Structure 1
Amino acid sequence: MKSNAFLLLVLIMVSACSSKEDLPTVKDVDLNKYQGTWYEIARLPNRFEKGLKCVTANYTLNEDGTIKVINKGINTEDQSKSETAIGKAKVPDAQFPGQIKVSFFGPFYGDYYIIDLDENYQFALVGDPSRKYLWILSRTPRIDDKIYNNLITKAEQQGFSIKELHLTKQDCNL
């Protein structure tokens, strides 16, 4: 039941991410390199991740070019409970590979814009054009302070409210 609530909240987020405001994205994304597990280092608060820690996103490239998305998190109040949301993603326009669409339910897709991406695919800054959603992702549970601060600066320069940024605890094994 709780997983369904998590999925519903993800759907709400996806539906809300439909603003047409401009947000620059990276010009190149190699989906083969992007796939795998990413740890959430920080995020803007949102309802669908409230009360979660040890949040990860795993991306797997499908044969048809779409991407399987598995988001997981552990309940901060009861670590025996976890939340999982399974969805799919696609790049609708190959000329803009950093502008990805993600769906966790039916035909509804939300924006997943890769704003910054390390050339070695070790960290990423992801948001949406409405500036309501923002994630700092890393291949490891922790990120260097200098890199983190650079990503925060980039997010702020793009109009995100970094004062509200929530650091995600990564103190468990998923």
Structure 2
Amino acid sequence: MTPLRLTVLVAVMIALVACRSGSVKPTIPPVANVDIPRFMGDWYVIAHIPSYPEREAYAAVESYALRPDGRIQTTFRYRKGALDGPLKAMHPIGTVREGSQGAVWDMQFVWPIQAEYVIVYLGDDYQQTIVGRSKRDYVWLMARTPRIPTADYEARIRQIAALGYDVSRIRKVPH
């Protein structure tokens, strides 16, 4: 193997290891406990700081289903560009981090890369949640219904700001 190929190989391996967040403790505070079976089901994305594919998402819904192996089958479906736009979907697999009481997941969209997913707010009735990341690059405000009361929305946005997010980047998702 040439020195150039070896250097490229080592650089790629370092990048892949750096992308894996499974062993890194989150720096954003997770909730104390999540009842995973109760958390399963549909969550409407009310607002978010979107990842690249979500920038033009309308009618976005994140659905979770517990698999027999304990991992979480996720389906993120949305309309692209408009409420009547083409239906798109992504299917990452979630793995609950050991010792996190269900509040920290690793989401795998493409092997071997896993993205940190931290439940930072969860209503006692499991009707609203905020999912964030230690990098404060993406955040999702979700609810069991496509709309929430204005007072709840404003309170959740204040919580997101208190977590260190730039709330001017938040996009409301049309439903």
Using the size of structure 2 for normalisation, the TM-score is 0.82
Per-residue CA shift, 1:84-140, capped at 9, x if unaligned?
A: 001110112234421111111112110110000011110001110000000100000
Shift >6 Å, 4+ stretches? none
Give the paired residue count.
156
Equivalent position of 2:44 in the other structure? 39
Q: State the 1:47 CA deviation.
A: 1.2
Change (3 A) 1:95 1:136: closer
Equivalent position of 1:87 in the other structure? 92
- Gaps in structure 2 of 5+ consecutive residues: 1-17
Amino acid across the alignment from 1:60: A
What are the residue-to-residue correspondences of 1:1-174 with 2, within 5 Å? 18=21, 22-77=27-82, 79-170=84-175
Contact residue 59 and residue 83 of structure 2 kept, 8 A: no
Please say which structure displays the higher CA radius of gyration. Answer: 2
Change (3 A) 1:154 1:77: closer
- Gaps in structure 1 of 5+ consecutive residues: 1-14
Q: State the 1:20 CA deviation.
A: 6.5
What percent of counterpart residues are identical?
25
CA RMSD of aligned residues (A): 2.0
Change (3 A) 1:65 1:85: same
Using the size of structure 1 for normalisation, the TM-score is 0.83
Contact residue 55 and residue 168 of structure 1 kept, 8 A: yes
Contact residue 79 and residue 86 of structure 2 kept, 8 A: yes
